[in-house]
Structures are given as C-alpha cells and as structure tokens.
Amino acid sequence: MRKSIIVCGDVHFRSRKPKKRIDDFLTTQILKLSQMLFYCENNNAPLIIAGDIFDTAVEPYWLCSMVANTIMSFKVDIFVVAGQHDLRFHTKGLKNTPLGLMLSSELMFLLEDKPDLIQDQVVYGKSWEDETPEPIEKGAILVTHEMVVENDKLFPGQSSHQYALSLLRRNPKYKLIISGDNHRPHIVKRKGQINLNCGSMMRSSKDQKDYKPCFYDVDVETMDIKKIPFEIEPFDIVFDLSMIDKEEEQKDRIDFSEYVKSIEIKNDNERPEFRTILKEVIEEAKANKRVKSIITNIMENIKNESC
C-alpha cells in the first residue's frame, strides 16, 4: 500500500486580510485548509506544515477557534515546526500563542530534534533558529523553517539565506528536507536527496500575480512528489488591480521639489546649468531612449534659438 505525507508551506492564518485583497480572505483560508485536510483524510496521510502556521503570535481567539473547528472536522494528524511569525517578538517559546494553543490541544504536534516515526519514516524538526538535528542513520526526513533559495536571492542585498544545494550537501543523511519561509516554491535534487520548498498557501501581494499555490503529496518510499493545486480564483477577482496600478504610479513618480531643495545656491556663479540639472533628473528617473531623444532634441532647439 502506498504511503505518503502531505506537505504544505507557510500558511499564515490571519484575521486581517492583506491590503489589496478584496475577497472574503478569512473564508478563503479556511477553504484551503479544508481542501488539504480532505485530501489527507481520503489518502490516509498526515499533514506536515513547514512553519509560520499563523501570521502573528497575537491572532485573536475567534480565528484560533475557526482553525481548530476545521481541524476537528477531519481525522488527520498534523505535524508542524514553528516559524518566526508563530513566536512572540520572533523569540523562542510558544506559550500564550495561537500555535501553542494548537499544540496544547493536541490538534497539531511539534516536530523537534528527537525524531518522530511518521509513515514508518524517521522525521526530525527544526523550528526557526534552532540547530539542525544530526540523524543517527541515513535516509531521514527533516522539516525546517529557514530561508532556502533555489538559485538566486529573492531581492538585492539579501544575506540571511542559504542555497538548496548547499543545504543538501551539508546534510547528507537526510533524503528529504522540507523547508518553509521562502514563499516561492522549488524542488531541488542532488544525488538521491531532495529539498522541497512548498511556497505560501495564500497570495498576499502583487508580486504573486502569476503564483499558483500548491501543496504536495510525497511518496515516502519512492520519493515521487505530486503537486496538488489549491482551488483559487483569478488574481483580478481577489485583488484590487486599480489600487495596485495607483501604487505603481506613485512609486515611479519623481518628487522634483525634493531635488530642487537639495541644490544649495550660494551665488549666481555656483548656480547649476539647466542642462546639467535636466541630465541628472533624466538619470535619476531612468528614462528610456525615446524620452532621452525627445529631450535632447528640445535642448538642441533651445540652444540654436539662443545663438
């Protein structure tokens, strides 16, 4: 009989919807949780969540109650690690937190450095900023919440990350490392090892316009991984595109008054030439070739007329 684990990345249950979401965000979250649990129950498989189960450590009781009631509607074991969003002030300890409530109610089980046997597999857990457990034997599974990227940094200047291949190289006894924190999914393989980063359950920003949230069905014996798409509405149905466009306009607009204020003029001899000022403004705006050409022609005409 096929044995599998169902794996999900950052869930981020939250009471307040993201700024530009216009759907019933709370209902959407509960429906996605229900879809996963329904799949788990039908396949007789446990659910593993790789951290950041809640968006903050102070989510209200009524939200915790909704999540708990949904979980109790299914017969599914849920194993988790804690992400920084699950912790108060991003410091260790789950006392008086939503995730702490789930654990004390035995609705979820925390994976730690002492392994659990799940589907006949030895599974270790590494919550945010914990040390990586050293497995006794080769072929174990690790669930971790840390920033793991596939090839490139997520943004310029990012430093608190590691690359998937490096992670696998440093931990040769793990055949599967399930990671959370990075909201972009990837599957990286190396010499019989796999790093599965599931991505986020929800779309919360304009950067996820083309993102299709999924959870994963992993055959623990063959290591075959099946992607299961969440049921989602089109991006333009759940996000206010007009608000996004307006924000982009404001971001691209240059505040020329601030530039003018920055020019200190002591006397007429030190006054910057208009051509110099315009050149600096064009460079700051990163104007395209067409705009630069138009401005250059105008400046040439002004020069000719003044001669």
46 within 8 A of 254, measured Cβ to Cβ: no
> What is the Cα–Cα distance from 202 to 239, expressed in whole angstroms?
12
Per-residue pLDDT of the chain (307 residues; tens, 9 = 90+): 789 999 999 999 999 988 888 889 999 999 999 999 999 999 999 999 999 999 999 999 999 999 999 999 999 999 999 999 999 876 678 888 999 999 999 999 999 999 999 999 999 999 998 999 999 999 999 999 999 998 876 666 666 778 999 999 999 999 999 999 999 999 999 999 999 999 999 998 877 888 899 999 999 999 999 999 999 888 888 888 775 455 555 554 545 455 455 544 445 555 555 666 566 655 655 556 666 666 666 666 665 655 5
Output the pLDDT for position 155.
61
Comma-separated ranges of CATH 3.60.21.10 domains in the chain:
4-238
The pLDDT score that the predictor gives to residue 121 is: 95
DSSP summary character for residue 139: S
Q: What is 4-238's CATH topology?
A: Purple Acid Phosphatase; chain A, domain 2 (3.60.21)
The structure tokens listed for 172 are: 């040769």
| CB within 8 Å of 80: residues ≥ 6 apart | 48, 49, 50, 51, 53, 99, 102, 108, 109, 110, 111, 125
Predicted pLDDT at 281: 58
Confidence at residue 154, expressed as pLDDT on a 0 to 100 scale: 67
164 sits in which H/E element: helix 164-170
**pTM, full prediction:** 0.77
Conformation bin of residue 93: beta by default, left when phi > 0, alpha when psi is -120 to 50 = left
pLDDT at 266: 47
